Structure 1
Amino acid sequence: MNKKPLARAVSLAAVSLGFCGIAVAQEAVSPSNDEDMLIEEVITTGTPGGTGMRKLDASFSITTLSDDEIGKASPSSTADLLKSIPGLWVESSGGVSGANIDVRGFPGGSDAPFVTVSMNGLPLYPAPTLSFMENSSLFRVDETIQRVEGLRGGPNPVYSNGQPGLTTNFILKEGTEETEGRFKYTASDYDLQRADALLTGKLSEDVYYMMGGYVSSSPGIRDAGFDAEEGHQFTLHLTKELDNGKAGFYVRDTKDTGTWYLPNAAFLSTDYTQVGPSNRKVSVPVSQADGNGGTETSWETFDMGEGRGWDGSVAGAYLELDLGNGWSLTERFGLTSGNADTLGFVPNGAPVSLDSLTDQAVTTISGAGLSSDTQVQQFGAWVVRKDIEATTNDISLSKEWDSVKVTAGYYTSSWEVNEWWSIGNQKYYVLDHDGELIGGTADDSELSGELACNTDVEVYSCDWKYDVDAVGDASENAFYLASEFYLGDFTFDLGVRSANRETNYSVDHGERNGVFTTYKADEDGFAYTAAVDWAFAENMGTFFRINSGFKFADFDNYREFGDSYLAGSDLIIDIDQYELGYKLQDQDYSLFATLFYNETQGMPDCIIGSTTCTRLETEALGLELDGKAHWGAFTLGLNATLQKPEITRGEFEGNQVMRQPEYQVRLSQNYDFTINNIDMAVFGGVSRVGDRFNDSENSVTLPGYTKVDLGAAAYINDITVQLAVDNLTDEDGITEGDPRDPLASNVRHILPRNIKLSVAYDF
């Protein structure tokens, strides 16, 4: 089968948004059989210049989710939605923000260093992770989203911000010829109150609008006892159809925060959270220079109930032109600005009984009336303020001949951070929701037995405190060149990228004394990808791809590896990947299977809060499965990742990469039926996750677990009623242990059972 004519037809049908763009067109029609047409998805992610192609023709691993699939998933956060993409390990148990997301056995363990979240084709923030801020925290899912695609590996290292791991792209809905809209109200068994609205239409000839958003409030799935999760969002998207293309503009304003859920004592219930109405206000020490070469401390009051979230805006514009004679131009520009703060109670060590404290002053300051066996624990009031800005531009020019296409592009971005931290700050609290403060910071003289401080490791000492005052800016310029050509049933593609990043980062950390260390870096990187795709049948094919990419150092790496960097280390992480894929898609079934192998070199592995860091080398061999089968009104979906991620060099050689399971499998189902002329659906899924290890030393095993979700929907004329039950059996699965003290009995559970009920009216 020669894919070239079909690729052209699909390109005309797709509404392209460049490399990371996704066609608004939901399906393409294969011309192979007029009587039995094959309905297929159109994707543009990972294609040079954003040319639309059938998913069946893609020579890379890509998963697509429609707005209907997003709605039925009823995710608790953006990260929670990403569990639908194979090849990912997602820990969304931290609340509405602050997930940990790992990709294909790449080393990680915190935040999401190899995940880029894009909207309408541009990354929200060019650096995928800063400490206490990963990209999914900057995005909220609502009714304005048309579609999301997740591309793993493949041509990722060459285009956009050069992410070698996962690029997820959320595409906004567009205006319609006729005025249409939706209003949806959602409630839950945890007192969620949420209203969503969407309106689309036509402003004038060839000018269309889409606008929508939400207002939301709840105490949280782990009930804080006050409205700990509050948010609102508004999005506007304008498009203009041109004689030879399209132009668009969008802006999204968001303010949405929620409690930061942390690892806590393993014996506590899964709906426990320490923060409550009485203890949320905390005085936190903030150190600063005293003007005489020393340090002085002042005290400020903060609200731990703020948790984690995003208060900012994302705006962008794009232009797509057909210049004639095979030439096309795509231009995209984006701007992000706002605050991504983190506040919460972080446990320090294991719980103990009150009578373990020998200094009576500690127990009588505010602990009068408590029994001697009352469980107490040290919690640190951590405060991290981050003010971020970013601008991004991506322009590409393509020329297409009968059997060859060449695309040249230029990507440029700049971003800033202004941040300060006060973390540590441990004090004793009653171990209970809204547990009261019972004493001040302890030291060795105030403790005995099992509560004694470990002074050999600074991070474990009971009075540990760490401050950061920093400002940084970085810019990246990259040129990329891609070509593809067609020879019978074979498609060959090749892409290269040459990038330069300049970084300036000034930081005063530890006990702030007004002495700033400034790091300056000017680094170059080269990435490439090459693939061959063989369409050996009308409905199936195979591909082989190699790529070599890299991850530049971000601001935090200079702070953590300052001595190493000044001694000449470039701090760049290198990644090589190999993929062998099989693709099958027909009317009633599809299967996309990808065998992958990757190697990484140079990933930092640090004890949180200390200067103890190493750099890992790893490898991973694995298989991704993404399948779907239809039997009449019944649909069964398969999402599976089988892998062996291993540390291959250094102190932990031979150990499993931390926190990632060797297998995870999700089976989803949907059954459509009619009762009394009312269309209905029952849907759900069963997920099984294997054992993991909490750290690179593999000292603590995190046991596997099984999670069940269930939902139902009824469609009554223009009204949709949906009930969604997450974690139906109330499984107490563990996503992580204590990253600061692996041997402490602190764990973070998956979210407990929760139920959402929504009613939507479409007009």
Structure 2
Amino acid sequence: MKKNALASAVSTHARLGGKSIGRWLALPMLLGAMTAGAEESKKEVGEIKLLDLEEVVVTGTPGGAGVRKLDASFAITTVDEEAIKQFSPKSTADLFKTIPGVWVESSGGVSGANIFVRGFPSTGDADFVTVQVEGAPIYPPSTLSFLENSTLFRIDETIDGMEALRGGPNPVFSNGQPGLTTNFRLKQGGEETEGILKYSTSDYDLQRVDGMISGKIAPEFYYMVGGYVTRSPGIRDAEFDSEEGHQLTINLTKEWGSGKANFYHRNTDDHGTWYLPVPLEAPGVDAGTFTYVGNTTKKRAVTVNANGDQIVYDFSQGRGWDGSVTGFNIEHDFANGWTVRNRFNITSGDANTYGLVPSGGAVPMSELAAGLTATTEFSDRTLDGDDWVQAVGFWVVEKDIESKSNDFSVSKTLDDHTITAGYYWSKYSADEVWSLGNQVAFEVRANGEPLTGIGCSDIPGAGCWAYGIDATGETETKAFYIADEWQINDDWRIDAGIRRETADTDYRVDSGPGYADGSIDTDRSLSDSKTSGTLGVNYTLNEDSGIFGRIGRGFRFPTFDMIREGQEVVQEIDQYELGYKFSGDTFGLFATFFYNDFTGLNFTPFPGAPTQQSGAEAYGVELDAQYDNGENFRVSVNATLQSTELTDTVAENEGNSAPRQPDWQIRISPSYDFHMAGMEGTLYGTLTAVDDRFGDNGNSQDLPGYEKVDLGVILRVNEQVTLQLVGDNITDEEGLTEGDPRITGNAAGNGRTILGRSYVFSASYEF
């Protein structure tokens, strides 16, 4: 394929093309051949335990009852505290790269990721991803425009680990997410007082302090308190501390002979620059560090209605979350095999977005109409013909969200059966005001200035437009579910579940002709009910291995944004899985084959664009493997191979690949333990390789594949002091994650790449 303008603008570093996949597929087999004769290793500094079949997981089980991985008939990944520290994610979404079957674009900053699951078709955000804390969804709808679940959660030293369940029994339990559910477990106090104090800095002037302390309040009553304070200009330097935040988490646990309860509260105020596509073809643009955000764009008056009224907004706030998540769980075992469980959660706060969004491509001044003169707005500098300009919009999205959810279940154990009946209820709302468009002419330069003398309409292809809404929506869901877990014998286990859910939604929106104008354009009340179900079987081959299979059907009711765009259709997903799991002394492997049949996708690429309808089919395999030589060397391999195809869509898109998702991706993570001058340490790294992708349903916008290399070292000075240095993207690869979602094909030459090279150093003291 001949390189186009967008592809030629990205880094020319060597890439793995689609034909190179064979050598990567061979790696797990090579690792398997290396297992003979080694002994199971003891835990060393930085050890990752992804494949422990004796580990008990709670996500995807009725009421969070828990099941051993060996007995589980679904694909689940667990990431413990040590693995999170070693990975050192720059955002919550960044951590999801450790999950097979998931494609993550975390290039948007601390918030605003795009996350895709197993070939489910989507054009952005995270339509099929739920984030839970202690088993309760923090916001039941996985995505609203400009809001996906990972935005509402920050990782710090209060996290004990994460469970990530793809498909499986997800459609039946909790909020019925058919795609990916990630459940974060908070640390809990114990008999001894323990804690950590950690300081982090970086080559981009990160200043962060984390802390956590836990212990005993009274007999069988424990506490954990922790949080962080952070600031930095960002890897894409904004000339000021564009990333600022703090968080405080409290977790109280009470135990008694036959039960347990815990209460948690997490208050977060954290934001950062929303990183967007940049003009890749303009001279002097470093795609890994470029941003228009700077001192001259902190405050801007934005037109909010057709009368020309303006409001001054603070664009230094970027994108983030200012709110709280509070909940409690209780579990009690009664006589004769009865167990009652309840999980309650309430989330409330503001998830606002203030961003500088390109509109059309960048061009040199010489291509503008004769006689036009452009002057920088603040420094009063006149541009010449070789200077480049671009139209950039000041976008404002303010969201006030709230949700409550409760999951109550009763279980009864009868010989080989455990039967669970449950009732899930949630109510969530969003009040929001948008003002999109608002384009002005910009000098193409990092932290560039707006221009006077020329406007958006003077730049060829800028596409000047305005769109605003004033909307409010509320949805109440009620769901009954029943599940049976049948341990037929020591080897065979069957589980099945069915769920009946009803959703009632009220949504009102004033969108007006370009701006909200005071008249209600949409006033809808919807009510619908659907049934989802799942059936899984697990066969234990021996104490080290097993196989499982599962079929299931899930759905997704229309969200507020879908209703506004006239897409009042229920999306349905049929899923089929077949898996194998093995955990030996030196080698472990999870392999999951999947097939999905998706119907009911309706989407609008951008406001005002025609709505497109589509279905999709996808099949593939997820691989999660680990080799350990029993002494000091380990390597983990995380890979996904899939084939996606759009169906039941417009003729020109029929048979195309689902947008944004690669046919294959692989992460290879070796680590080596060493001893030096009485200290223990771990040297580790990760190679990520990604196949080519397309940015749109028409497969006309090319996103070339890339490789990314990360390195790190952990040094444990003694039992209390640990030092860590992490290098992210050390080759400074400009891997493209997004073209221009508001342009067909590659015409604009805009693209968003992974973050440029950075280094983070941390020192921690544990007690």
Query: TM-score under structure 1 normalisation?
Result: 0.90
What CA deviation, in whole Å up to 9, does each residue of 1:693-749 have, x standing for no partner? Answer: 010000021000011111001111210000111111111100010000133100001
Give the Cα–Cα distance (whole angstroms) in 2 for the partners of residues 157 and 52 of structure 1: 17
Deviates more, 1:398-407 or 1:99-108: 398-407
The question of whether the paired residues in 1 share the 8 Å contact of 2:277 and 2:750 is answered with yes
Give the Cα–Cα distance (whole angstroms) in 2 for the partners of residues 669 and 51 of structure 1: 34
What CA deviation, in whole Å up to 9, does each residue of 1:139-168 have, x standing for no partner? Answer: 000000001010000000000000000000
Q: Is 1:701 matched up with 2:696?
A: no
**1:540 paired residue among 538, 545, 552:** 545
**1:761 paired residue among 753, 760, 765:** 765
Deviates more, 1:517-526 or 1:295-304: 295-304
Give the Cα–Cα distance (whole angstroms) in 2 for the partners of residues 695 and 638 of structure 1: 29
- In the other structure, the counterpart of 2:359 is 348
Residue 536 of structure 1 deviates from its aligned partner by 2.1
**1:312 paired residue among 293, 316, 323:** 323
- In the other structure, the counterpart of 1:466 is 467
Q: Is 1:335 matched up with 2:346?
A: yes
SS across alignment from 1:521: strand
Matches within 5 A, 1:359-370: 360=371, 363=374, 366=377, 368-370=381-383
The question of whether the paired residues in 2 share the 8 Å contact of 1:102 and 1:109 is answered with no
Give the Cα–Cα distance (whole angstroms) in 2 for the partners of residues 83 and 757 of structure 1: 21
Query: TM-score under structure 2 normalisation?
Result: 0.90
Give the Cα–Cα distance (whole angstroms) in 1 for the partners of residues 497 and 247 of structure 2: 38
Give the Cα–Cα distance (whole angstroms) in 2 for the partners of residues 508 and 438 of structure 1: 32
Give the Cα–Cα distance (whole angstroms) in 1 for the partners of residues 376 and 228 of structure 2: 45
Deviates more, 1:725-734 or 1:297-306: 297-306
Matches within 5 A, 1:338-737: 338-358=349-369, 360=371, 363=374, 366=377, 368-439=381-452, 442=455, 446=458, 451-452=460-461, 461-462=463-464, 464-488=465-489, 489-509=491-511, 510-516=514-520, 517-561=522-566, 565=568, 571-631=569-629, 632-651=631-650, 652-717=653-718, 718-737=720-739
The question of whether the paired residues in 1 share the 8 Å contact of 2:539 and 2:546 is answered with yes
**Structure 2: 5+ residue stretches without partners:** 1-51
- Letter of the aligned partner of 2:294 in structure 1? G
- In the other structure, the counterpart of 2:752 is 748
- In the other structure, the counterpart of 2:119 is 105
Same amino acid, percent of matched pairs: 49
Give the Cα–Cα distance (whole angstroms) in 2 for the partners of residues 212 and 198 of structure 1: 4
Residues 111 and 395 (structure 1), Cα distance of their counterparts in 2 relative to 1, 3 Å cut? same
Give the Cα–Cα distance (whole angstroms) in 2 for the partners of residues 332 and 210 of structure 1: 19
Residue 243 of structure 1 deviates from its aligned partner by 2.2
The question of whether the paired residues in 2 share the 8 Å contact of 1:354 and 1:376 is answered with yes
The question of whether the paired residues in 1 share the 8 Å contact of 2:53 and 2:70 is answered with no
SS across alignment from 2:451: coil
Give the Cα–Cα distance (whole angstroms) in 2 for the partners of residues 625 and 178 of structure 1: 39
- Letter of the aligned partner of 1:380 in structure 2? G
Residue 440 of structure 1 deviates from its aligned partner by 7.2
Residues 709 and 368 (structure 1), Cα distance of their counterparts in 2 relative to 1, 3 Å cut? closer
Matches within 5 A, 1:183-222: 183-222=197-236
- In the other structure, the counterpart of 2:302 is 284
User: Number of residue pairs matched?
Assistant: 701
Give the Cα–Cα distance (whole angstroms) in 1 for the partners of residues 609 and 454 of structure 2: 22
The question of whether the paired residues in 2 share the 8 Å contact of 1:623 and 1:642 is answered with yes
Give the Cα–Cα distance (whole angstroms) in 2 for the partners of residues 656 and 681 of structure 1: 40
Residue 362 of structure 1 deviates from its aligned partner by 5.8
What CA deviation, in whole Å up to 9, does each residue of 1:445-471 have, x standing for no partner? Answer: x45xxx156xxxxxxx32x00011001
Give the Cα–Cα distance (whole angstroms) in 2 for the partners of residues 443 and 219 of structure 1: 29
The question of whether the paired residues in 1 share the 8 Å contact of 2:53 and 2:583 is answered with no
Give the Cα–Cα distance (whole angstroms) in 2 for the partners of residues 699 and 537 of structure 1: 49
The question of whether the paired residues in 1 share the 8 Å contact of 2:61 and 2:173 is answered with no
- In the other structure, the counterpart of 1:458 is none
Give the Cα–Cα distance (whole angstroms) in 2 for the partners of residues 190 and 320 of structure 1: 46
Give the Cα–Cα distance (whole angstroms) in 2 for the partners of residues 584 and 655 of structure 1: 36
**2:169 paired residue among 151, 155, 158:** 155
SS across alignment from 2:334: strand
Residues 359 and 420 (structure 1), Cα distance of their counterparts in 2 relative to 1, 3 Å cut? farther
**1:326 paired residue among 334, 337, 356:** 337
Residue 360 of structure 1 deviates from its aligned partner by 4.3
SS across alignment from 2:510: strand
The question of whether the paired residues in 2 share the 8 Å contact of 1:328 and 1:397 is answered with yes
Residues 359 and 322 (structure 1), Cα distance of their counterparts in 2 relative to 1, 3 Å cut? farther
Residues 439 and 616 (structure 1), Cα distance of their counterparts in 2 relative to 1, 3 Å cut? farther
SS across alignment from 1:325: helix
Give the Cα–Cα distance (whole angstroms) in 2 for the partners of residues 162 and 710 of structure 1: 38
Give the Cα–Cα distance (whole angstroms) in 2 for the partners of residues 705 and 452 of structure 1: 29
Residue 50 of structure 1 deviates from its aligned partner by 2.3
Residue 103 of structure 1 deviates from its aligned partner by 0.2
- In the other structure, the counterpart of 1:177 is 191
**1:301 paired residue among 312, 322, 328:** 312
Give the Cα–Cα distance (whole angstroms) in 1 for the partners of residues 466 and 604 of structure 2: 17
What CA deviation, in whole Å up to 9, does each residue of 1:504-553 have, x standing for no partner? Answer: 01000132221112111001111000011111222111111000000011
Deviates more, 1:359-368 or 1:334-343: 359-368
Give the Cα–Cα distance (whole angstroms) in 1 for the partners of residues 348 and 397 of structure 2: 17
Give the Cα–Cα distance (whole angstroms) in 2 for the partners of residues 525 and 163 of structure 1: 13
Give the Cα–Cα distance (whole angstroms) in 2 for the partners of residues 368 and 185 of structure 1: 42
The question of whether the paired residues in 2 share the 8 Å contact of 1:375 and 1:430 is answered with yes
The question of whether the paired residues in 2 share the 8 Å contact of 1:144 and 1:173 is answered with yes
- In the other structure, the counterpart of 1:291 is none
- Letter of the aligned partner of 1:518 in structure 2? D
**Structure 1: 5+ residue stretches without partners:** 1-37, 288-294, 454-460, 566-570
Q: Is 1:738 matched up with 2:740?
A: yes
What CA deviation, in whole Å up to 9, does each residue of 1:568-594 have, x standing for no partner? Answer: xxx110000000001111232211100
- In the other structure, the counterpart of 2:17 is none
- In the other structure, the counterpart of 1:11 is none
Residue 371 of structure 1 deviates from its aligned partner by 1.3
Residue 373 of structure 1 deviates from its aligned partner by 1.6
Give the Cα–Cα distance (whole angstroms) in 2 for the partners of residues 483 and 589 of structure 1: 33
Residue 357 of structure 1 deviates from its aligned partner by 2.5
- In the other structure, the counterpart of 2:254 is 240
Residues 115 and 441 (structure 1), Cα distance of their counterparts in 2 relative to 1, 3 Å cut? farther
Q: Is 1:69 matched up with 2:71?
A: no
- Letter of the aligned partner of 1:758 in structure 2? S
Matches within 5 A, 1:28-177: 40-177=54-191
Matches within 5 A, 1:7-18: none
Give the Cα–Cα distance (whole angstroms) in 1 for the partners of residues 440 and 396 of structure 2: 15
